[in-house]
Structure 1
Amino acid sequence: MNISSHYKLKHFIPWTRRLIYKMLLLSIIPTALYYFAGCFWLGIPWVPVALLGTATAFISGFRNTQTYNRTWEARQIYGAIVNSSRSLGIMLRDFIRTPDSAVHRDLFYRHFAWLTTMRYQLRESKPWENVKTKPYNREYLHFYNVAEWDGKLEEALQPFISEEELHRVLATKNRATQLLAAQSAALKALNEKGLITEFAYVSLEAQLKDLFDHQGKAERIKNFPYPRQYSSINLFFTNTLCFLLPLGFIGEFSKLVDKYGSEAIWLTVPFAVLSGWVFLVLEQVGECTENPFEGSANDVPITQISRNIEIDMREMLGETELPPAIQPMNDIVL
């Protein structure tokens, strides 16, 4: 997530420079053919270009709205995880009646393990994600680090759970689910020992159910891509429009040749580049907003959120040696 007031041009222009090169090529070639080779048939009426532009604007607006909704829903899910985690922490601390601080610590730390496993699972790459496959995104990766790509889940979990539980969890497919299941089993054992009342036990299990719900919602966004048919049609429409834009501008600026000379036709290039760049950038921005957990600079900052939850819950335990908060790198925090 970018936390500055806006993206700076020194970042945005290089990120979209390939789009500028593309529009320059699409604009200069037909204009040169018109000017030097006398291919006057390249100038087409503006009406079909305008009609296609209107359709493209609608589909681009629809796509960007839906991809933004995916990102906003992902942020809402992690906001709910924050609230549920804080509630779980205060209930674990106060409902479990034992002077043994290790009991509280084990339950708290298992929750930290769940948060860690969740963010590692959500950062796994999917075939439809593009942060690692598209060159303009790969180049931008040097502005920030994705902690889940640099480290191993096993090492990240070691401070939170025992070696036996660690090996058992790592042997499963959905590790976050198994950690919540282990948390439930631990609560059940405490209830059977009489350390948790029936009402408190039911309330704590309800909190685990909420966490399961939040996990399922996050997994739905992670594992179900933005429908490919809408993504594809937007790409087709945008590229077709960018191909026709220079031809339409040639047709319009050819009307100025008699008054201002044949050089007026070269006005096609800057106007076509600017107009095409706008539509191509809308397409690229929508593409980079589709997957809010993939590890892009526009992701929901699940690493920072998880660390803030951990700090809050450690303070509930009375700990004073707290891990540092996640700091932004080049105004980007993940």
Structure 2
Amino acid sequence: MIVTSVPRAKQIFFEVWKPLTVLFVWDVIVTIIYMRFPFRAPSLPLTLFGSVLALFLGFRVNSAYDRWWEARTLWGAMINASRNIARAARNFLPEPEARDMVRTIVLRQIAYVNALRCQLRKQKVDDEVLKYLSADEAHPSLERTNVANGLLDGTGRRIEIARRNGWIDTIQQTQMEAVLVDIANAQGGMERIKNTPLPNQYRFLPTLFTHIFSVLLPIGLVETLGYATPLGSTVASLMFLAVLAIGEDLVDPFANTVHDVPLTGMCRTIEIDLLQSIGDKAPDPMQPVKGVLW
């Protein structure tokens, strides 16, 4: 996620420079043709086309941003639920006989959020997952198709073991299970966003219409701008292409790009809070790299 307050114009230009270069060449060709063979182009249809296209692109960007913001909201709920399960384990399970069980539940939750991060970004399970699990704990979950869900199931089984050992009663078990349900619901929402792309019409048609409009734009402007047509048309096309790129950037909030929801940073936040809750040394918070928090 880009966290700097200064707009990254360079990033936007990098994403659109190829079609923009082609359009600039086309603008020059249209200008040369007009100067040799003057013609008149009706302005009203192009004006209407541009107005409708702006509304279309705005609707698409809003839809993409809604997905991005929902993903961020779900991860905010995941941070809170992780703190809650650690606090419940620490407060419900008695000391010192259940101390190891408390540590196991807390460390498994840290491993869980990092496993979920890897799944959403389509990455292999990394060391941030494995370093908090023993070999016996890691193996059953790593054999699952959904590693994160396997870790969550294992946490639920350990809460049941705590109840059978008499460390918690059924009411306390129900309260802890309710937190696990909140975690599972948040995971399900994230998987829905990741596995359900915007309908193809939302992605194909705006791209098609934007490029058609950019091709027609110099024809409508050349009579007014003359030799300045390549500059004016290219700048106008840049605005439409930039809005198109913004919608494309936000449509997948777990794509592991600079526009991604900062999963690594939020997992580190959970790691710090949970380790400190059991008295362990915690790492430093993640810092932005060149204005980007990953």
Q: Does 1:156 align with 2:128?
A: yes
- Equivalent position of 1:7 in the other structure: 7
Which of 238, 248, 263 is 2:220 aligned to? 248
Corresponding residue for 1:109?
107
Which of 267, 280, 283 in structure 1 is aligned with 2:241?
280
Task: Quote the residue 1:134 is aligned against.
Answer: none
Match of 1:119 in 2: 117
Counterpart of 1:114, as a letter, is: Y
Q: For residues 12 and 221 of structure 1, what CA distance do their matches in structure 2 show?
A: 24
Asked whether the 8 Å contact 1:2–1:297 carries over to 2, the reply is yes
TM-score (structure 2 length as normaliser) = 0.95
Secondary structure at the counterpart of residue 191 of structure 2:
helix
* Structure 1 unmatched runs, 5+: 125-147, 254-264
Q: Residue 89 of structure 2 aligns with which residue?
A: 92
TM-score by length of 1: 0.84
Letter in 1 for 2:248: E
Q: Deviations over 1:219-262 (max 9, x none)?
A: 11111111111111111111110011000012434xxxxxxxxx
**Counterpart of 1:328?**
288
Segments of structure 2 that go 5 or more residues without pairing to the other structure are: none
Shift of 1:210: 0.4
Residue of structure 2 equivalent to 1:266? 227
3-state DSSP of counterpart to 1:49:
helix
Checking the alignment, whether the CA contact within 8 Å between 1:154 and 1:166 is kept in structure 2 is: no
Measured in 2, the distance between the counterparts of 1:313 and 1:304 equals 14
Query: What is the one-letter code of the residue matched to 1:59?
Result: F
Q: Which runs of 4+ in 1 moved over 6 A?
A: none
**What residue in structure 2 maps to residue 139 of structure 1?**
none
Deviations 1:72-107 (A, max 9, x none): 111100111111111111111001124142211111
Q: How does 1:33-182 map to 2 (within 5 A)?
A: 33-36=33-36, 38=37, 40-41=38-39, 43-100=40-97, 101-124=99-122, 152-182=124-154
- Which is worse superposed, 61-70 or 152-161? 152-161
Q: Is 1:17 aligned with 2:14?
A: no
Distance in 2 of aligned mates of 1:25 and 1:99: 75
Q: CA deviation at 1:179?
A: 0.8
Cα RMSD (Å):
1.5
**Aligned pairs, how many?**
293
Residue of structure 2 aligned with 1:210, choices 182, 185, 201: 182
The 1:299/1:180 distance shift into structure 2, 3 A limit, reads same
Q: Which amino acid aligns with 1:307?
A: R
SS in 2 for 1:181: helix
Query: Match of 2:282, SS?
Result: coil
The letter for the 2-side match of 1:61 is G
Kindly report which structure 2 residues correspond to 1:297-312, keeping only aligned pairs within 5 A, or say none. 297-312=258-273
CA shift, 1:327, in A, is 1.2
Are the equivalent residues in 2 in contact too, given 1:45–1:252 (CA < 8 A)?
A: no
**CA–CA separation in structure 1 for the residues paired with 2:126 and 2:261:** 23
- State how far apart, in whole Å, the 1-side matches of 2:126 and 2:290 are: 29
**Residues 9 and 283 (structure 1), Cα distance of their counterparts in 2 relative to 1, 3 Å cut:** closer
Q: Match for 1:33: what amino acid?
A: I
Which segment drifts farther, 304-313 or 21-30? 21-30
228-237 or 160-169, which deviates more: 160-169
**Residues 9 and 155 of structure 1: is their aligned pair in 2 closer, same or farther, counting only changes over 3 Å?**
closer
CA contact (8 A) 1:293 1:300 kept: yes
Cα 1:64–1:285 change in 2 (3 A) is same
Task: Report if the CA contact (8 A) 1:93-1:104 is conserved.
Answer: yes
Q: Deviations over 1:165-216 (max 9, x none)?
A: 2222121111111111111011101101101111110100000000000000
Asked whether the 8 Å contact 1:98–1:195 carries over to 2, the reply is no
1:126-165 Cα deviation digits (max 9, x unpaired): xxxxxxxxxxxxxxxxxxxxxx5xxx51533221112122
